[in-house]
Amino acid sequence: MTRNPNTSSLADTEAIYDLLAEAIDQAGPGKTELFLTKLALLQSHAIGHVPSVQQYVNTALQDL
């Protein structure tokens, strides 16, 4: 089975989690929502495919 080059390994996922946690802490409690919105818009722009972004949004909303 070949690995999809567009997905993260477990180690990469853990590194991304740590990076995001540190950035959220750096943004501070009054700016967390703004930071996450800006990050989501930047990543959505990089993806550039509305149906894919919609799928990610739906997945993120599950089990909140």
User: For the residues of 10-59, what is the DSSP string, one character each?
Assistant: HHHHHHHHHHHHHHHHHH-TTTHHHHHHHHHHHHHHHH--HHHHHHHHHH
Confidence class of residue 8 from pLDDT cuts 50, 70 and 90? confident
The pTM for the full model equals 0.79
- Which pair of structure tokens corresponds to residue 52? 């894919």
Q: What pLDDT sits at residue 1?
A: 46
* Domain residue extents for the chain: 32-64
The percent of residues above 90 in pLDDT, for the chain, comes to: 88
Q: Mean pLDDT over all residues of the chain?
A: 93
Q: Is the pLDDT of residue 42 over 80?
A: yes
What is the Cα–Cα distance from 52 to 46, expressed in whole angstroms? 11
Reported residue count of the chain is: 64
pLDDT for residue 58 is more than 60: yes
